[in-house]
Structure 1
Amino acid sequence: MTVSNRDARYNMAYQQIRPWDVFDDQVLDIMQSLPREQFVPHAYRSLAFADTRIPLGHGQVMMEPKLEARMLQSLAVRPSDQILEVGTGSGFVTACLASLGNSVSSFDIYDAFINTAKEKIAMQGINNVHLHLGNAFAAELPREGFDVIAVTGSLPAYNDQCEQFLATGGRLFMVVGTSPVMEAILVTRHGDEFVEEHLFETDLPPLELLPQPSRFSF
């Protein structure tokens, strides 16, 4: 008996993702409604719903579905949110963020990723994404301009450079540390105070272009 992609996405959401403490119905709905298989490189299409990283090229990977979902849940994206994504990759997380929020500005240093993501996102009828080729940390971004910032590659230690771009009440997700044990953290801005919450242990390839260190608090 052949399992349809729709059934496979449902099984991924409720047998793989939900047991990893993902209880947000909106996130589960997004993970099973968006066709993740269309964002996976053709050579790895059979692994689209597996609990594994998928190579994208240039040493980068598509995160495991449960990690993507856990990140989305922790960011608690609202329909009015302006979102910054550092690392477009396959474009799947970009599409998820865009489906949950108001608009997404996503940066990647590889034009192949940008071009592929643009095509895949357009196929879903998603039109609130702005893709940028380049280093987000070197871009002229609006101060306090984003409600959500998702950094999809790891940093060796926490860096506060992204904090200046968070609006009051904004949430920042990043993974910090060195392989094989890193930690996902969430930073929430309350006025002039930035509160760190340690979420879970994981492992993620590093960002290729890192921000310049200023204040380390991890």
Structure 2
Amino acid sequence: MQMSFAAARQHMIDSQIRTNKVIDDRLLEALRELPREAFVPDNVKVRAYVDDDLPLGNGRYLTEPMVVARLLQSADVKPTDMVLVAAAGTGYAAGLLSKLANTVVAVEADHALSERAAAALQQQAADNVVWQEGDPAAGFAKHAPYDVILIDGGVEIVPAALLEQLAEGGRLVTVLFEGRVGRAVLMMKERGSVSRRVLFDANIPLLSAFAKPAEFSF
């Protein structure tokens, strides 16, 4: 079974990742090394390498590999970077980032997902990941500022708290929904102001922690 997972992982890289303009060698090596099947429930392990979002339970999903890879490449993660992953789920993106950055702070509100993530990251010896159970929209100011922030899922808003925790020259990547349309975005802080650039279209599940507040009406 391990050999078939390894073959599936390589096929994912060849057919889903490289064909979608992901060329960063360090990122490709991280994708090759980290077993995605270790970060999903047993009942979906056989689907770990399909180009789709995988259900994790409690309405949460593991973002499809191509979207995660393109977001991380756009974030231009350096070996010296301090990184925040908001809504870290079961820790797959945090595990990838642990191979690219100096330190990764991962914030997740769901206790069951946090337990699975802690076990998977320990199994993978991702010792530079600091796991925090809490509100992902609040980030984790204690270790700010962050060179890179990944919100791992679809969002309707990017909270001011996260932008405040972004370092000068820092990059935030996520999939932002305006109406029904989701677009991967890169937000950069330069001289205290934040700019936004659209990267590509992406349709992934929304995170309830990053939903727009309900509008009041009479």
TM-score above 0.5, yes or no: yes
Kindly provide the amino acid, as one letter, of the partner of residue 106 in structure 2. Answer: S
Structure 1 spans left out of the alignment, 5+ residues: 214-218
Look up the match of 1:73.
73
- Which one is further off, 177-186 or 101-110? 177-186
Confirm or deny: 8 A CA contact 1:137 1:211 kept in the other structure: no
Change (3 A) 1:143 1:115: closer
| Alpha-carbon distance in 2 for matches of 1:73, 1:155 | 19
CA apart distance, 1:203: 1.7
Look up the match of 1:121.
121
| Alpha-carbon distance in 2 for matches of 1:196, 1:205 | 21
Kindly provide the amino acid, as one letter, of the partner of residue 91 in structure 1. Answer: G
CA apart distance, 1:181: 2.2
Confirm or deny: 8 A CA contact 1:179 1:203 kept in the other structure: no
Kindly provide the amino acid, as one letter, of the partner of residue 86 in structure 2. Answer: V
Confirm or deny: 8 A CA contact 2:175 2:182 kept in the other structure: yes
Question: How do 1:41-190 residues align onto structure 2 when only pairs under 5 Å count?
Answer: 41-138=41-138, 141-142=141-142, 145-178=145-178, 180-190=180-190
- Aligned to 1:52, what secondary structure does the other structure show? coil
Change (3 A) 1:137 1:50: closer
Confirm or deny: 8 A CA contact 1:143 1:166 kept in the other structure: no
Change (3 A) 1:138 1:15: closer
Confirm or deny: 8 A CA contact 2:156 2:211 kept in the other structure: no
TM-score by length of 1: 0.89
Confirm or deny: 8 A CA contact 1:142 1:165 kept in the other structure: no
| Alpha-carbon distance in 2 for matches of 1:157, 1:128 | 29
1:13 paired with 2:13, answer yes
Alignment size in residue pairs: 212
| Alpha-carbon distance in 2 for matches of 1:143, 1:34 | 25
Look up the match of 1:201.
201
CA apart distance, 1:144: 5.4
Give CA-to-partner distance per residue, 1:127-148, whole Å, 9 cap, x none: 1111111103346504851001
Give CA-to-partner distance per residue, 1:48-93, whole Å, 9 cap, x none: 1111111001111111111111111111111111111111112111
Change (3 A) 1:140 1:61: closer
Confirm or deny: 8 A CA contact 2:139 2:162 kept in the other structure: no
Change (3 A) 1:41 1:144: closer
Kindly provide the amino acid, as one letter, of the partner of residue 133 in structure 1. Answer: E
| Alpha-carbon distance in 1 for matches of 2:48, 2:75 | 23
